[in-house]
C-alpha cells in the first residue's frame, strides 16, 4: 500500500483543492528522455499540483514536476504492486472528486500497454472529465535511439507490438499470443515486458516457422544514458541477453530491420 496520508488529499481543505469540475490528465511520459516529451505534456507537468506516477516514469521526467507539487507513486513491477489496478482507478476517481487537478503520468503512451484505456473507461463511467496526452511509445523511442527502423521497404511492411508478460491480479495466465501470425516474415515484432519470457518467445516463434537466423535484438533502458543494445538472432538472443545480464525495462525486437543497427548506429548523433 502507499504511504501517503489520505487526509491530506481528501479533506475539504486539501492543498490544491478547488471548486472547479474534477479533471484527470492521462499523460504519456515517453520512453524516458525528457527531450522526447510533447509540448503539452511538459506544460501539464510544469503546472501540476498533484502527480500520480508509474515505475517506468524516468527520474529525468519527474524532475520537471514542481518541487511543491504532491506526488503519489503507484508503480507496479513483477511480483510487487504498490496498488492493484482497481485500487489505482479508485484512487484517481477519489482524487478528482476531492477537487484536485490530477496528472496521471505513465511511461510511454497511456494507450499502448499502459492501461490508460481501463482508467479512461472508469473515469468516463464516474462522470469525470479527462484528457489523454499521447507520448512516444517505447518502441518508437527505441527505434530512433538504436538505428533500428520499425519499417523499411526492404525488410518490413508492417509492425506488430505485443506484450510478453500477461498477468491478471490473481496470478500468471501465460502468453496467449497468435504465434503463427507473429512468426510471419517481412514484419517487425516488438515485444514489451518480455525479458523474463524471452527464451519462450524465441522458441515459439522458431517453432511456428520463423527462421532461426532472423536478426533479433534486446534494448535495455531505451533513450536513457544507460541504454544498452544486444543484437543476435532468434536462436542466439536468449543466451546473449543472459550473458549481458539484461534487465527490465527492455524491449525485444525481431525482424530484418535489426540488421540495420550496425550500419546506422555508427553514424548516429548522441
Give the predicted TM-score (pTM) of the model: 0.88
- Domain with 217, as residue range(s), is 139-265
94 plus 150 within the same structural domain: no
40 plus 112 within the same structural domain: yes
Is 35 buried (19+), middle (13-18) or exposed (0-12) by CB count in 10 A? exposed
User: Rounded to the nearest 5°, which phi and psi values hold at 259?
Assistant: -65, -20
Cα four-point dihedral sign 49, 55, 60, 61: negative
What's the pLDDT at 101?
87
What's the pLDDT at 250?
97
Cα dist from 187 to 141, 142, 156, whole Å: 18, 17, 4
What's the pLDDT at 1?
37
CATH of the domain at 29: 3.40.1010.10
What's the pLDDT at 171?
43
Q: Is residue 104 part of a domain?
A: yes
pLDDT at 78 over 80: no
Least confident of 39-48, 96-105, 122-131: 96-105
Question: Once rounded to an integer, what is the mean pLDDT over residues 143-170?
Answer: 87
Question: Once rounded to an integer, what is the mean pLDDT over residues 135-146?
Answer: 98
- Percent of the chain predicted with pLDDT > 70: 87
Most confident of 3-7, 98-102, 252-256: 252-256
Is 81 buried (19+), middle (13-18) or exposed (0-12) by CB count in 10 A? middle
Least confident of 58-67, 167-176, 203-212: 167-176
Average pLDDT over the chain reads: 90
DSSP string, 58-105: -HHHHTTS-TTSEEEE--EETTEESS-HHHHHHHHHHHHHTT-EEEEE
Q: Is residue 41 part of a domain?
A: yes
Closest CA to 110 of 160, 39, 56: 56
Least confident of 1-10, 61-70, 206-215: 1-10
Q: Is residue 1 part of a domain?
A: no
Q: Which three cell numbers stand for residue 184?
A: 510471419
User: Distance between CA atoms of 123 and 165, rounded to whole angstroms?
Assistant: 26
102 plus 32 within the same structural domain: yes
Q: How confident is the model at residue 53 (pLDDT cuts 50, 70, 90)?
A: very high
Q: How many domains does the chain have?
A: 2
CATH of the domain at 165: 3.30.950.10
Q: Is residue 254 part of a domain?
A: yes
Question: Once rounded to an integer, what is the mean pLDDT over residues 99-126?
Answer: 96
Residue 54 annotated to the active site: yes
pLDDT at 174 over 80: no
What's the pLDDT at 172?
45
Last residue of a domain, one of 136, 153, 181: 136
User: Distance between CA atoms of 150 and 168, rounded to whole angstroms?
Assistant: 29
168 plus 228 within the same structural domain: yes
Active-site residue, selected from the candidate residues 23, 40, 55, 76: 76
Continuous segment of H or E residues that includes residue 251: strand 250-254
132 plus 12 within the same structural domain: yes
Q: Is residue 56 part of a domain?
A: yes
Active-site residue, selected from the candidate residues 33, 54, 70, 109: 54
Q: How confident is the model at residue 127 (pLDDT cuts 50, 70, 90)?
A: very high
Q: How confident is the model at residue 2 (pLDDT cuts 50, 70, 90)?
A: very low
Amino acid at each position: 500500500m502507499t504511504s501517503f496520508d489520505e487526509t491530506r488529499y481528501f479533506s475539504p481543505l486539501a492543498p490544491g483543492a478547488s471548486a472547479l469540475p474534477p479533471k484527470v490528465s492521462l499523460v504519456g511520459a515517453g520512453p524516458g528522455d525528457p527531450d522526447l516529451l510533447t509540448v503539452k505534456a511538459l506544460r501539464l507537468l510544469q503546472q501540476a499540483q498533484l502527480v500520480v506516477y508509474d515505475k517506468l516514469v524516468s527520474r529525468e521526467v519527474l524532475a520537471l514536476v514542481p518541487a511543491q507539487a504532491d506526488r503519489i507513486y503507484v508503480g507496479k513491477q513483477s511480483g510487487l504492486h504498490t496498488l492493484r489496478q482497481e485500487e489505482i482507478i479508485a484512487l484517481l476517481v477519489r482524487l478528482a472528486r476531492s477537487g484536485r487537478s490530477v496528472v496521471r503520468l505513465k511511461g510511454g503512451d497511456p494507450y499502448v500497454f499502459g492501461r490508460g484505456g481501463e482508467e479512461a473507461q472508469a473515469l468516463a463511467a464516474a462522470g469525470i472529465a479527462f484528457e489523454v496526452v499521447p507520448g512516444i511509445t517505447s518502441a518508437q523511442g527505441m527505434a530512433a535511439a538504436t538505428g533500428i527502423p520499425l519499417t523499411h521497404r526492404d525488410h518490413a511492411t508492417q509492425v506488430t507490438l505485443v506484450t510478453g508478460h500477461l498477468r491478471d491480479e490473481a496470478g500468471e495466465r501465460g502468453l496467449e499470443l497468435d504465434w503463427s501470425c507473429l512468426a510471419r516474415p517481412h514484419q517487425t515484432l516488438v515485444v514489451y515486458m518480455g525479458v523474463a519470457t524471452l527464451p519462450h518467445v524465441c522458441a515459439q516463434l522458431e517453432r511456428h516457422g520463423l527462421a532461426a537466423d532472423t536478426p533479433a535484438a534486446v534494448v535495455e533502458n531505451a533513450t536513457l544514458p544507460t541504454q544498452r543494445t544486444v543484437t543476435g538472432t532468434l536462436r542466439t538472443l536468449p543466451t546473449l541477453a543472459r550473458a549481458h545480464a539484461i534487465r527490465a525495462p527492455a524491449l525485444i525486437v525481431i525482424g530484418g530491420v535489426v540488421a540495420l543497427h550496425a550500419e546506422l548506429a555508427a553514424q548516429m548523433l548522441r
